[in-house]
Amino acid sequence: MPVLQFPENFVWGVATSAYQIEGAWDEDGRSPSHWDTFAHTPGKTRNGENGDVACDHYHRWPEDIALMASLGIQAYRFSVSWPRILPTGGRKVNEAGLDYYDKLVDGLLERGIRPFITLYHWELPQTLQELGGWPAREVVDHFVALADVVSRRLGDRVKDWITHNEPWCTSMLSHQIGLHAPGWQNWLAALRAAHHVLLSHGLAMPVIRANAPQAEVGIAPNYEPAYPLTRTEADLNAARIWDGYYIRWFNDPLFGRHYPADMVAYYEAQGYLPDGLDFVQANDMATIATPVDFIGVNNYTRQIMSGEISLDQFQTAANPNPNASYTEMNWEVYPNGLYDILNRLHFDYQAPKIYITENGCSYSDGPSSGSRIADTRRIEYFQSYLAGIHKAIGNGVPVAGYFVWSFMDNFEWSLGYSQRFGIVYVDYETQQRLPKDSAFWYGDVIRQNRLEIE
């Protein structure tokens, strides 16, 4: 049985986000976010489901982090809910909201769990949405205020900070495809949003570092690499466009390469940038390229691209791979995709340090006999991706840690509660938590700092 030993000090964690688990959407001074508005709009989410209650983590966090500790989890990546802390943006703090995260951080540290904070995992106060949301440059200053308020309060104890989760989702999925809040379908708005997300990241980093001198700060883009179906020019071109749209548009500016010229030309030719990059102001690109301490990699699957590409027709698995297995999101299990991305981030972009900030799979296995949940496919998924990570580390890629998405089943955005990504099962009727087999398996991996592959 091959045994893959991980480096000493490798960080083993789990991840969640506020709106997906907290619930308590209108308690203790929290105002609505644009996701509350979206999810409360008929037709936007599966079965009209929303995050009003979710996993009720706002009230149950002590038991949740006790469970993490009992499994041996070393680090917990969670996000703060902006409208809980600054209900109308700006700097007017809702103390009860900030206190909540203060207690959570203390509770984690008491149990020896290292907190990794994500500042923005898609919850914009509705008031800021009404000011124009991410396509409006004004939002950037509001985000920097959030970074300042949170890092001033928690920076004495929290060392690891992530500015944004998945800028592609905040911009494209939300403003061009329209599947996420605010549900727009407007290319220019999406590209403006992308720029403001990146700019706000660059401006927030020195603020966090000033408030928390020990801090390491990064960002967690989603990486879904594209592979051509065949070696024909059309398929190669389709893969290049997907890569530009999904990866390079975000990664290139972060690493000082400006927006990729081929994609600017493509977007202009399509009429998506009628006035070019007029929303980019002097110094913006240098600010965005402020060196990060680490890059967070969110990776689940890949795309196989072919022929004439239309980025308006959003499809998962446009070219299904007959030899692969798929999760219940219809996402191909493709561990080589993560391996390739890790090598690329190291050898091409020269990322200083990498955390896998999300990796996981949706399978609906629930309790069958008694309380046991035999989610064997999830264990196999993790084994295959971790083997790829281990191989990349062997190539010299500086991967410092791994976060399972997700600690527990939760609200999967427009898909409501239909997708279960957790290593802990949540019975939404009773809010009972049941660790799945994968949770115990993960605990063993952590304890031994190694992976045994059967």
Is 328 an annotated catalytic residue?
no
Q: Which amino acid is at 397?
A: V
- Tokens representing residue 53 in the block: 């209650």
Which candidate in 49, 166, 216, 412 is catalytic? 166
- By beta-carbon proximity to ligand IFM, the closer residue of 193 and 264 is 193
Please state the closest distance from residue 208 (CB atom) to ligand IFM, in A.
Answer: 21
- By beta-carbon proximity to ligand IFM, the closer residue of 145 and 345 is 345
Query: What angle (nearest 5°) sits at the alpha carbon of residue 357, between those of residues 356 and 358?
Result: 95
> What whole-number distance in Å separates Cα of residue 188 and Cα of residue 243?
19
Q: Name the residue among 37, 186, 210, 58 with its Cα closest to residue 124.
A: 37
Paired with 89 in beta bridges are 87
Which candidate in 216, 224, 332, 358 is catalytic? 358
Q: Helix or strand or coil: residue 284?
A: helix
- By beta-carbon proximity to ligand IFM, the closer residue of 153 and 175 is 175
State CA 243 to chain mean position distance. 18
> What whole-number distance in Å separates Cα of residue 53 and Cα of residue 176?
28
Cβ(324)–Cβ(383) below 8 Å: no
> What whole-number distance in Å separates Cα of residue 276 and Cα of residue 264?
8
- By beta-carbon proximity to ligand IFM, the closer residue of 6 and 421 is 421
- By beta-carbon proximity to ligand IFM, the closer residue of 22 and 358 is 358
Residue numbers of the site for ligand IFM (CB under 6 A)?
Answer: 17, 20, 166, 298, 358, 405, 412, 421
> What whole-number distance in Å separates Cα of residue 207 and Cα of residue 149?
10
Please state the closest distance from residue 421 (CB atom) to ligand IFM, in A.
Answer: 6
Please state the closest distance from residue 77 (CB atom) to ligand IFM, in A.
Answer: 11
- 279: number of Cβ within 10 Å: 18
- By beta-carbon proximity to ligand IFM, the closer residue of 127 and 410 is 410
Please state the closest distance from residue 412 (CB atom) to ligand IFM, in A.
Answer: 5
Cβ(387)–Cβ(402) below 8 Å: no
Is 22 an annotated catalytic residue?
no
Please state the closest distance from residue 166 (CB atom) to ligand IFM, in A.
Answer: 6
Paired with 76 in beta bridges are 14, 115
Q: Name the residue among 341, 309, 319 with its Cα closest to residue 220.
A: 341
The stretches of 176-283 forming alpha helices (DSSP H) are 187-211, 233-243, 249-254, 261-270
Paired with 165 in beta bridges are 220
Please state the closest distance from residue 256 (CB atom) to ligand IFM, in A.
Answer: 26
Residues belonging to the active site = 166, 358
